[in-house]
């Protein structure tokens, strides 16, 4: 590449992720054991420019496209899944916000590029679960903005967050709830941690539960227009679901590499060769590679799809395609890690072994959005020509 003043050399974010993943892997076991937040890793992601990856070039960021983002996140997750998942809320979140544009997006670019700000997003709520388009958090209009009251669960990355991407519902002219998105600088008052994250998997993601109490949010911090949040999300969904899938694919790839490396040199007393010579080990490793290849093909086919055209011709179909892909990739990733456990045997369960952490982390892929039952329902109805949003849901 010719480097001129107008086109400074840009960072290769996949190479950067590989380099950082090596270092993060060395700290992953301790962060997992302690269940603390990897502030050290996030600080390196900020100082290396990784967190500016998806900020547009014209706003001083890396301008990474979806494939570069996914390849980088996949590499990072193989080193420390919790760190990759925590920063995923930031790197895909800013890409979605960039798609909406406006003053809130421009303020976020500046905060990320100039001050190293990090975004975390809270859409899930107790009693709402993954049905994020029905927030129960209330946005009450007041002079100059809104007062937000409600609860948020699973707020990944909260310990390092400088900007909170929040959903809430205000009441429209007909008295109906209208979902609204806000991108708010972390406030001094109005947000309280009610339960620290203490979970079996993704232990170092700081996915705390929060209470929003009379949190004042200025009008200027609204993202897009009231009521358009679900549509905005659908239009940028490829950033969300492809990047989610890439994290869980990375965990599975890391598990395969670990298991292959160990079986090449491992011997058992009853064998005169390495464990790699056992047919069961060979077949399972072959099966892992097959499932990994299927997951990779599905993910990168979705990454390279013509999203702009799909959004115009069939936005719901686009959302469903991306959702089906994310669920399939995460299911395959879970199967790959389960096979890795079987290949390794009982030692895989030992706390000191990286596979048990991968096993606990990869399960989260089955639980994070999009909800697999809702996806199956929408995909089946869409394919069969049954109205997807007809009520009651099982008629129409
Ligand atoms: C590690 C981790 C990190 C997360 N980080 C974040 C984050 O940063 N921000 C955020 O907003 N959220 C986050 N989440 C939460 C996530 O978005 C989901 O809201 C949460 O996991 C609950 O979703 P669920 O659908 O699995 O369960 P629930 O919504 O509690 O559902 C319970 C059961 O009901 C079923 N179900 C629910 N709704 C329907 C429906 N409409 N139709 C049919 N069946 C249904 C589900 O399949 C499930 O079997 C995180 C979750 C995890 C596990």
pLDDT in tens, 179-205: 999 999 999 999 999 999 999 999 999
Whether the pLDDT of residue 133 is over 70: the answer is: yes
Q: Is the distance from the beta carbon of residue 376 to the nearest atom of ligand 1 less than 6 Å?
A: no
The rounded distance, in Å, linking the Cα atoms of 341 and 220 is 50
Q: What is the pLDDT of residue 7?
A: 59
The rounded distance, in Å, linking the Cα atoms of 318 and 302 is 10
Whether the pLDDT of residue 6 is over 60: the answer is: no
Q: pTM of this prediction? A: 0.96
Whether the pLDDT of residue 129 is over 90: the answer is: no
Confidence of residue 1 (pLDDT cuts 50, 70, 90): very low
The rounded distance, in Å, linking the Cα atoms of 170 and 119 is 23
**Opening angle at CA 36, ends 17 and 166, nearest 5:** 75
Q: Which residue has the tokens 């007909």?
A: 174
| Contact call for residues 62 and 52 (beta carbons, < 8 A) | yes
Report the percent of the chain where pLDDT is more than 90.
85
Q: What is the pLDDT of residue 383?
A: 96
Q: What is the pLDDT of residue 163?
A: 97
Query: Which residue among 93, 128, 129 has the greatest number of ligand 1 atoms within 8 angstroms of its CB, and so is best to mutate?
Result: 129
Q: Is the distance from the beta carbon of residue 244 to the nearest atom of ligand 1 less than 6 Å?
A: no
The rounded distance, in Å, linking the Cα atoms of 394 and 384 is 13
Q: Length of the chain, please?
A: 396
Q: Is the distance from the beta carbon of residue 338 to the nearest atom of ligand 1 less than 6 Å?
A: no
Q: Whose CA is closest to 297, among 285, 305, 308, 307?
A: 305
CATH architecture of 13-117: Orthogonal Bundle (1.10)
CA Rg, the chain, in Å? 22
- For 64-73, what is the mean pLDDT? 98
The rounded distance, in Å, linking the Cα atoms of 229 and 233 is 6
Q: What is the pLDDT of residue 354?
A: 97
123-137, 144-158, 171-185, 244-258, range with the lowest pLDDT = 123-137
The rounded distance, in Å, linking the Cα atoms of 77 and 295 is 15
Q: What is the pLDDT of residue 269?
A: 87
Q: What is the pLDDT of residue 331?
A: 98
Mean pLDDT, all residues of the chain: 94
Task: Give the closest residue (by CA) to ligand 1 atom 14.
Answer: 154
CA atoms within 13 A on the CB side of 338: 8
76-80, 226-230, 250-254, 385-389, range with the lowest pLDDT = 226-230
Task: Write out pLDDT tens, residues 16-36.
Answer: 999 999 999 999 999 999 999
Whether the pLDDT of residue 76 is over 50: the answer is: yes
Extract the tokens encoding 316. 């719901």
Q: What is the pLDDT of residue 4?
A: 47
Q: What is the pLDDT of residue 332?
A: 98
| Contact call for residues 112 and 51 (beta carbons, < 8 A) | yes
The rounded distance, in Å, linking the Cα atoms of 88 and 243 is 7
What DSSP string describes 371-383?
Answer: PHHHHHHHHHHHH
Fold agreement (13-117, 122-226): no
Extract the tokens encoding 330. 């995460």
Query: Which residue among 155, 368, 392 has the greatest number of ligand 1 atoms within 8 angstroms of its CB, and so is best to mutate?
Result: 368
User: Of the segments 209-218, 223-232, 268-277, which one has the largest average pLDDT value?
Assistant: 209-218
Task: Give the closest residue (by CA) to ligand 1 atom 33.
Answer: 129
* DSSP H/E element including 92: helix 81-100
CA atoms within 13 A on the CB side of 183: 27
Q: What is the pLDDT of residue 2?
A: 39
First-to-last alpha carbon distance for the chain, in angstroms, is: 57
Q: Whose CA is closest to 212, among 137, 140, 160?
A: 137
Looking at the domain 122-226, which fold is it?
Butyryl-CoA Dehydrogenase, subunit A; domain 2 (2.40.110)
Extract the tokens encoding 45. 């992601």
Q: What is the pLDDT of residue 127?
A: 84
Contacts 24+ apart (CB under 8 A), 102-106: 102/223, 102/224, 103/220, 104/182, 104/183, 104/220, 104/221, 104/222, 104/223, 105/183, 105/223, 106/59
Whether the pLDDT of residue 55 is over 70: the answer is: yes
Q: Is the distance from the beta carbon of residue 165 to the nearest atom of ligand 1 less than 6 Å?
A: no
The rounded distance, in Å, linking the Cα atoms of 42 and 245 is 21
- For 232-250, what is the mean pLDDT? 95
Query: Which residue among 160, 371, 388, 392 has the greatest number of ligand 1 atoms within 8 angstroms of its CB, and so is best to mutate?
Result: 371
Whether the pLDDT of residue 5 is over 70: the answer is: no
Q: What is the pLDDT of residue 248?
A: 98
Q: Is the distance from the beta carbon of residue 89 to the nearest atom of ligand 1 less than 6 Å?
A: yes
- For 262-280, what is the mean pLDDT? 94
- For 94-123, what is the mean pLDDT? 93
The distance between the two most distant Cα atoms of the chain, rounded to a whole number of Å, is: 79
| Contact call for residues 200 and 157 (beta carbons, < 8 A) | no
Q: What is the pLDDT of residue 19?
A: 98
Q: What is the pLDDT of residue 109?
A: 96
Q: Is the distance from the beta carbon of residue 371 to the nearest atom of ligand 1 less than 6 Å?
A: yes
Whether the pLDDT of residue 216 is over 80: the answer is: yes
Every domain of the chain and the residues it spans: 13-117, 122-226, 236-384
- For 294-320, what is the mean pLDDT? 96
- For 98-124, what is the mean pLDDT? 93
| Contact call for residues 81 and 358 (beta carbons, < 8 A) | yes
* CA 390 to chain CA mean position, Å: 30
Q: Is the distance from the beta carbon of residue 116 to the nearest atom of ligand 1 less than 6 Å?
A: no
CATH for 236-384 is 1.20.140.10
Q: What is the pLDDT of residue 8?
A: 63
* CA 133 to chain CA mean position, Å: 17
């Amino acid at each position: 590449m010719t480097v001129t003043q107008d086109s400074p050399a840009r960072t290769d974010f996949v190479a950067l992720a590989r380099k950082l993943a090596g270092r993060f892997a060395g700290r992953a076991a301790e962060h997992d054991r302690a269940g603390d937040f990897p502030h050290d890793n996030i600080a390196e992601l900020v100082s290396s420019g990784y967190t500016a990856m998806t900020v547009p070039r014209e706003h001083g960021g890396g301008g990474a496209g979806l494939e570069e983002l996914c390849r980088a996140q996949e590499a990072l997750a193989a080193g420390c899944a919790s760190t990759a998942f925590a920063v995923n809320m930031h790197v895909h979140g800013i890409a979605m916000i960039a798609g909406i544009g406006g003053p809130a997006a421009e303020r976020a670019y500046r905060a990320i590029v100039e001050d190293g700000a990090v975004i975390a997003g809270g859409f899930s709520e107790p009693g709402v679960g993954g049905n994020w388009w029905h927030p129960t958090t209330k946005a009450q209009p007041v002079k100059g903005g809104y007062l937000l009251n409600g609860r948020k669960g699973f707020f990944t990355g909260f310990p390092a967050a400088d900007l909170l991407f929040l959903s809430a519902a205000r009441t429209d002219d007909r008295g109906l709830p209208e979902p609204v998105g806000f991108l708010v600088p972390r406030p001094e008052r109005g947000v309280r941690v009610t339960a620290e994250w203490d979970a079996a998997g993704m232990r170092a993601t700081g996915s705390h539960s929060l209470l929003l109490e009379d949190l004042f949010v200025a009008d200027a911090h609204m993202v897009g227009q009231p009521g358009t949040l679900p549509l905005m999300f659908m239009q940028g969904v490829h950033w969300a679901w492809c990047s989610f899938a890439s994290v869980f694919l990375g965990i599975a790839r890391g598990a395969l590499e670990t298991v292959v490396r160990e079986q090449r040199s491992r011997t058992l007393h009853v064998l005169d060769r390495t464990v790699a010579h056992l047919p069961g080990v060979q077949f399972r490793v072959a099966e892992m590679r097959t499932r990994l290849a299927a997951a990779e093909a599905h993910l990168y086919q979705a990454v390279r799809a013509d999203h702009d055209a799909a959004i115009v011709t069939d936005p719901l179909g686009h959302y469903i395609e991306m959702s089906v892909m994310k669920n399939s990739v995460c299911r395959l990733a879970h199967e790959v890690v389960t096979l890795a456990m079987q290949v390794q045997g009982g030692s895989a369960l030992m706390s000191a072994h990286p596979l048990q952490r991968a096993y606990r982390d990869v399960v989260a892929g089955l639980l994070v959005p999009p909800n697999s039952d809702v996806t199956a329902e929408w995909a089946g109805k869409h394919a069969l020509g049954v109205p997807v949003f007809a009520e009651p849901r099982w008629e129409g």
